[in-house]
Amino acid sequence: MRIFTSLRNMACIAAVTTLLVACGQRVEVPPAHVGKIMTKDGYQENLIPTSKFRLDQCWGYCDRLVIMDIADKAYAENLSIFIPDDQLNLGVTVQATLSINPKKTEELFKAISPKELTDQLSVIENQKIYQTYASQIIQKEVREYLSKYSISQIASSNEKINAELSTRLGDVIGARTPFNVRFVGITGLKYPEIITKAQEAAAERREAIQQEEAQAKVTEVKLTAQLQEARLQRAIEKEKAETEALAQKVLAESVDPRVIKLRELEIEKIKAEKWNGQLPVYNMGAQGHNPIMFNVPASKQ
């Protein structure tokens, strides 16, 4: 009885396994991807959009889902470009945002080998498509275009050169690769160290000159202020002297000799009114020779 039960369980397990195999593996085409079914005879014709489904049942060789990443991707190329005019290398960063052209996806399934992820799933990576088609073209076009200019021209006309290069890259990438261009252009320049140091030295010299000019202007302002102050002081002193001289002149011109004589007479009158009429008296002693002074009435003026 036990043997019969074991055999029955094994039969059930085998039946379930067979049923699962017959139903096929569950697979998915995620967003921003397209897929194709790869059979033992190659790819099926139709592209599969974003969806979930099961592969066909299989017994010997099982089908495989191959998906392709067609999402917009941003790529950066860091280049060192030799500039013949300067005999120096210029560092350049080129940024490109690209998307797969839907009209060229069929060709890519045939041209790019997929990367196996599981027994039932493989992927064609966007990075591999970029490296195969676009990377080398971007590098070539950027080197060829920028090498025609000097570093000073690139620095002084950066916007114009970047606009022209963007147009050129957009046309070439669209025509010669399976990508559509969303954006492409130079996003960074790294100048040679010798030029950077020269620019820094020039900037330091300009700064020093500006500081000297500023200091000279400060000194000039101070000296001008001192000169103006000195001139003002001299003007004040001159004005005071002229005013004093004018006052003396007016005073001198206002004094009349008759007024002076009258004043003298007034003084003499005051003296006369205060005199008591007595003259000094001198006594001559026996042994002296002092003259005798007599009181003599003063004559009236």
pLDDT in tens, 74-111: 999 999 999 999 899 999 999 999 999 999 999 999 99
Tokens of 62: 């099982």
pTM over 0.85: no
Give the pLDDT mean for 157-183: 93
Task: Let me know if 192 is exposed, middle or buried by CB neighbors in 10 A (0-12, 13-18, 19+).
Answer: middle
What is the structure's pLDDT at 184? 92
- Closest by CA position to 123, among listed 50, 25, 36, 48: 36
Lowest mean pLDDT among 15-24, 194-203, 219-228: 15-24
Lowest mean pLDDT among 117-121, 198-202, 255-259: 198-202
Most confidently modeled of 19-33, 50-64, 158-172, 268-282?
158-172
For the chain, the structural domain boundaries read: 73-191, 192-254, 256-301
Which 3-state string (H, E, C) describes the chain?
CHHHHHHHHHHHHHHHHHHHHHHCCEEEECCCEEEEEEECCEECCCCECCEEEECCCCCCCCCEEEEEECCCEEEEEEEEEEECCCCEEEEEEEEEEEEECHHHHHHHHHHCCCEECCCCEEEECHHHHHHHHHHHHHHHHHHHHHCCCCHHHHHHCHHHHHHHHHHHHHHHHHHHCCEEEEEEEEEEEECCHHHHHHHHHHHHHHHHHHHHHHHHHHHHHHHHHHHHHHHHHHHHHHHHHHHHHHHHHHHHHHCCHHHHHHHHHHHHHHHHHHCCCCCCCCCCCCCCCCCCCCCCCCCCC
What is the structure's pLDDT at 200? 59
Contacts of 145 (CB under 8 A, 6+ apart): 164, 165, 168
pLDDT higher at 195 or 155: 155
Phi, psi of 58 (to 5 degrees): -140, 155
Tokens 């820094």 belong to: 200
Superfamily name with CATH number, domain 73-191: Band 7 domain (3.30.479.30)
Tokens of 114: 């997929």
- Closest by CA position to 90, among listed 203, 194, 202: 194
